[in-house]
Structures are given as C-alpha cells and as structure tokens.
Amino acid sequence: MSDSEYRDIQKLDLFAQMTDDHFASLMQGAYVQNFPAQIELITEGDPSDFLHVVLSGAVDLFSEWNGRATSMATVRPISTFILAATIKNAPYLMSARTLEKSRIALIPSQDVRSIFDKDSGFARAIVTELSQCYRSVIKAQKDIKLRSSLERLANYLLRQQKHVGGGNVFTLDFEKRRLASILGMTPENLSRAFKGLQPHGVTVNGTRITISNQMGLEEFAKPNPLIDDAST
Amino acid sequence: MSDSEYRDIQKLDLFAQMTDDHFASLMQGAYVQNFPAQIELITEGDPSDFLHVVLSGAVDLFSEWNGRATSMATVRPISTFILAATIKNAPYLMSARTLEKSRIALIPSQDVRSIFDKDSGFARAIVTELSQCYRSVIKAQKDIKLRSSLERLANYLLRQQKHVGGGNVFTLDFEKRRLASILGMTPENLSRAFKGLQPHGVTVNGTRITISNQMGLEEFAKPNPLIDDAST
DNA sequence: ACCAAGAATTGACAATTATCAATCAACCGG
DNA sequence: CCGGTTGATTGATAATTGTCAATTCTTGGT
C-alpha cells in the first residue's frame, strides 16, 4: 500500500478519530489489490472476512433470490462497505462486484473487531457510520414503499442533479439497466418512465439529462428531505 | 420508574454491558409514561429528543409521504427504537404511534450521547444494536425488491410460524390492514393473497392461520436465511 | 471505419397490484 | 341484546409494472 493510499484511508471519517497506533496496526494486516471490472468480490452468505475500502473505481452491492437480482447500492471512493457484517461477524447479506477497474483495500474483520474493542474513538466513528448506513436504508425503504416508479425516478433525477452541482444539464452516473435495478424496476419500465417525465420537463439523450422545467419537475416529484437528503 | 422496570431495562442488550454508575445516571434523567392506544409518540422530522424503550404494549413505526402512509416496523417489549436518530442527533425518519395501551421509558438523547462517549461497553452495545437494525432493514429491502406480494406473505407466514413455536396452527399478531402495510400492499390485495396461498396449503380464519401443507408452502415461499432469519 | 456485442428502446401483451364501491363480519358500549 | 363503528372481504375495473420479442443505438476492438 502506498503512503498516499495509507493517508487517504486514514482520512476517512471511520478511521480519522482513532489513534495512529491503532490505525497502523489495523493497516498491518491489510492489503490493497487491483481488480478488473465485473469481478465478484464477495458473495452473499459468505462469512465476512474483510472490511473493504474502495480506493478507486466503483462497486455494486446487489442481492439475489430465486433467480432474480437487484442492485442495492453503489459504493464509490473513498468509502467502506459491509461494515455491519464485519462488526457482527455475520455472513454478508449482499454480494459485491466491481463495476469498473477498481483498487480496493481489504482489512481483516478480526482486526477491525479487536481494535474496535480497544479504541473508543474508532468505536464512536463506527457508530456514526452505522447510523448513517441505517438511515440511508430506511430512506430507500420509504422511497420504494411510498412512491411509484415514476416518482422514484423523478426524485432520483433531482438528487443526482443536486449532487453534481444543480445545473439544468447533467449526466447519469449509472448504466440505465443498473439505475433501473436500483430504483426497483425493469430497464423497459425505466425507458418508459423517462418518457413519462417529458411532460414534467425532463429530456433524455443517452446519458445526458436536461431539466427544462425545474419547478414543474419538483412539483411532480415532491422531494422530501426525510427521503431524499443524503446528509440528514 | 419501579425497581422491576429499572432492572428490566438494565437487562436489555443495549444497557447490560455498561457500568452500573453510567446506567444509573442514564436513568436519572429518564422517565416512564403510560400511553393509551393510537397516540402519536413521535412525528417524523422532529428532533430526536428521547430514546424510547417500550416496556409493555406495542408501537408502530410508520412513515408518510404525499398523503400515503406505510408501516415500517412494529416494536414490541422490551426493546428500544429510534436509536440511530438519537445517536446522530438527527431528525426522526419515522413516526411512532402506540398500537395498544403502552408503557414507555423516555431517555433524553443528550444523556445517551454523553454516556456513549464515556462508556465503551455501552458504545459496543450500541454498535451491535445498530448493526442488527441495519441488517434487518437490508433484509426488508431485499424482501420487497425481490419478491412478489404473494411470496412476501408466504414467507411472512413461515417466519411468524417459526416465531411462535412452529405449530401448524397459529395466530397473526397484527391487524390485517397493518400487516398489509408492512408487507407493502393494500388490505384488499392481502385478502386476495391469502386466497392465493390456499393452493399452497394455507387456510385463514380471521386471525387464525392453519398450514396444512408445510412442504408445499415452503416450496412456494423458498425462504432464505439471508432474508428471513431474524438472527443472522 | 467497420463489425460485433451489449445496451437501450419500442410494441404488444400479460401479470400484478391498486382503487372504488358494496357488502359482510366482528366487536364494543350502553 | 342491539345498534353502530370499524375492519375484512368481494367484485368490477383501472393503473402500474413486468415479460417477451424485435429493432435500434452505442461502443469498444481491430
């Protein structure tokens, strides 16, 4: 692991508050690896041997049941995933695959758990991180239980727009098929949902979105901070 | 608060590992209150002033958006709710209402946060609890994204059956309208879903469920520990 | 620049789920 | 025991979402 990677990881909220000593010993057993795109990093049901940190690239968390699959979330640098499984020493609930060439740090779960016991700054950071994760999933659950697919798409577009600066023209950062899966619909239905948003001032050209009627879209989408704000 | 309540709360996983001192000071500012049925205890969006502990009765966690409402979970004694909001000092993402006459302890969030900083046993317990909550929501999310309403009902019945001992005859512990909401469907659709499970060996009489063909139902439901096991 | 492979779109249709209205059943207070 | 209220069920219908098959569009590799 390079010095700059070491420092990048240390700067993560999750690790910033722990002692240098503890961080060093956590990194002792860790290693960094490059993966090509479309590699399955972990499989749901497996024991959680490593806490993963995405240093570059992107990772899709997904789940399967009875021949069906759904994307649960996308992890982008620099952040960790499967913290809860690591802490509980329980099997992964989701699988993970690289979406593109990715550089990923692997920290043995055993080390995370034992240092968590020793370092209260680390413990606090873990609590904050887990609360954040929990609240994110609750929001996703509300999104899917309270909104139609058209409404979910509209709100997703507003979130993405805000996320990349708020301009009227912006670009999707997912493949549409994966966006569809994240939003809980089929690719065909997503296509039609984009069409359905045209009357509300949305134009799509490939991956490029133009919002020509901001007010109209917001009036339709009715975004709500308790569902759509990442921070709160 | 009575001595027996005090001890009941102290026995909760969340509090069992903290020092008696810290627990005492946590209870110092806490108080217990009786609520009738159908009282809204907290409203989503409000600041999280108290960590709640259900001592008796039952509480429904629900959420609303744009005139629609959905039940997210039911909290039964003895357990806490809205821990994440308390820890993050962030607004509630869900509302809570009593389903029946309930006795509830209220612990000031500020106290929880300050003692969390001092007591590492407590911090650890909070981490475990949050991980548990997180994983529960992930499972719920998988349930709803990967299964049809009929499949969700079938698996719910199997979970409930196991939960109450595994017998062929058991009783629903929800109103059907709330069960419908928890499962993400309308009451009408739940009625029809029960009918739809008849060919798979399920009979309903009011709140009484009879499973006459266990294997058949399981074959249809295809329960999966990574969705349906509460523990893992 | 061209081809092949994968992704996106479209149309036709089917399945699922929701809505609305009308009973029906259960429960509770007097 | 009765009437009234609430929840459950049913039927008819509509809206939403999914499936399948056929194009069309993109894109990466040569």
| 0.95 surpassed by pTM | yes
What ipTM was reported for this prediction?
0.96
pLDDT at B40: 94
Cα(A136)–Cα(A141) distance, integer angstroms: 9
Tell me the per-residue pLDDT of B145-177, one tens digit each, with 9 for 90 and over: 999 999 999 999 999 999 999 999 999 998 999
Q: Which of A142, A220, A224 to mutate to test the interface with B (most CBs of B within 10 A)?
A: A142
Cα A151 to Cα A163, A183, A193, B173, distances in angstroms: 18, 10, 9, 33
- Residue B227, chain A, CB below 8 Å: the answer is yes
Residue A129 pLDDT more than 90? Answer: yes
Residue A232 pLDDT more than 90? Answer: no
What single string gives the DSSP state of each residue in B66-93? TTEEEEEEEE-SSEEE-HHHHHHT---S
CA angle A89, A93, A95 (to 5 degrees): 115
Residue B222: pLDDT band (50, 70, 90) is very high
C-beta of residue A148 within 8 angstroms of C-beta of residue A158: no
The C-alpha of B3 sits at a distance from chain A's nearest C-alpha, in angstroms, of: 30
Tell me the per-residue pLDDT of A82-104, one tens digit each, with 9 for 90 and over: 999 999 999 999 999 999 999 99
Task: Give contacts of A128 with chain B, Cβ < 8 Å.
Answer: 87-88
Beta-strand ranges (E) seen in chain A are 31-35, 40-42, 50-56, 59-65, 68-75, 79-81, 95-98, 102-108, 169-171, 202-205, 208-211
Average pLDDT over residues B52-73: 96
Chain A neighbours among B 79-118 (CB < 8 Å)? Answer: 83-85, 87-88, 90-91, 93-94, 116-117
Tell me the per-residue pLDDT of B71-109, one tens digit each, with 9 for 90 and over: 999 999 989 999 999 999 999 999 999 999 999 999 999
Structure tokens at B158: 């199997």
Q: Please give the interface size between A and B, counted as residue pairs whose CB atoms are below 8 Å apart.
A: 150
Residue A24 pLDDT more than 90? Answer: yes
Cα B162 to Cα B45, B168, B202, B225, B231, distances in angstroms: 36, 10, 15, 13, 12
Average pLDDT over residues A12-28: 96
pLDDT at B141: 98
What single string gives the DSSP state of each residue in A93-139? SSEEEESSSEEEEEEEHHHHHHHHHH-HHHHHHHHHHHHHHHHHHHH
Tell me the per-residue pLDDT of B187-204, one tens digit each, with 9 for 90 and over: 999 999 999 999 999 999
Contact criterion met (CB < 8 Å) for B87 and A127: yes
Residue B232: pLDDT band (50, 70, 90) is confident
Average pLDDT, chain A: 96
Q: Name the residue in chain B with its Cα closest to that of A119.
A: B120
Nearest protein residue to D15's C1' (by CA)? A148
Residue B135 pLDDT more than 90? Answer: yes
Q: What are phi and psi of B159, to 5 degrees?
A: -65, -45
Decide: helix, strand or coil at residue A26: helix
A39 CA from D29 C1′ (Å): 21
Task: Give contacts of B83 with chain A, Cβ < 8 Å.
Answer: 131
A44 CA from C15 C1′ (Å): 30
CA B148 to chain centre: 22
Tell me the per-residue pLDDT of A209-225, one tens digit each, with 9 for 90 and over: 999 999 999 999 999 99
Query: Which residue among B65, B88, B133 sits closest to A142, beta carbon to beta carbon?
Result: B65
pLDDT at A57: 94
pLDDT > 90: what percent of chain A?
95
Domains of chain A: 3-144 (2.60.120.10), 147-228 (1.10.10.10)
CA angle A200, A202, A206 (to 5 degrees): 155
Decide: helix, strand or coil at residue B98: strand
pLDDT > 90: what percent of chain B?
95
Average pLDDT over residues A192-201: 97
The C-alpha of A104 sits at a distance from chain B's nearest C-alpha, in angstroms, of: 23
Residue B184: pLDDT band (50, 70, 90) is very high
Cα A230 to Cα A38, A83, A137, distances in angstroms: 27, 19, 11
Cα(A76)–Cα(A62) distance, integer angstroms: 14
pLDDT at A76: 94
Asked if the Cβ of residue B64 lies within 7 A of any atom of strand D, the reply is no
What single string gives the DSSP state of each residue in B166-180? S-SEEE-SS-HHHHH
Cα(A22)–Cα(A125) distance, integer angstroms: 14
Place of tokens 């593109």: A100
B93 CA from D15 C1′ (Å): 29
The C-alpha of A55 sits at a distance from chain B's nearest C-alpha, in angstroms, of: 24
Q: How far apart are the first and last CA of chain A?
A: 34
Residue A127 pLDDT more than 90? Answer: yes
Cα(A73)–Cα(B1) distance, integer angstroms: 44
* Of residues A225, A44, A165, the one with CA closest to residue B229: A44
Residue A50 pLDDT more than 90? Answer: yes
Contact criterion met (CB < 8 Å) for A88 and B131: yes
The C-alpha of B33 sits at a distance from chain A's nearest C-alpha, in angstroms, of: 27
Contact criterion met (CB < 8 Å) for B135 and A90: yes
Residue B231 pLDDT more than 90? Answer: no
Contact criterion met (CB < 8 Å) for A123 and B124: yes
A143 CA from C20 C1′ (Å): 25
Helix axes of A3-11 and A20-28: crossing angle, nearest 10 degrees: 120
A155 CA from C11 C1′ (Å): 28
Residue B1: pLDDT band (50, 70, 90) is confident
pLDDT at A155: 98
Indicate the pairing of strand B102-108 with strand B50-56: antiparallel
- Residue B213, chain A, CB below 8 Å: the answer is no
Q: Render the burial of B139-161: b for 16+ CB within 10 Å, e for the rest.
A: bbbbbbbbbebbbbbbbbbbbbb
Tell me the per-residue pLDDT of A1-18, one tens digit each, with 9 for 90 and over: 889 999 999 999 999 999
Structure tokens at B183: 């499962």
Average pLDDT over residues A175-187: 97
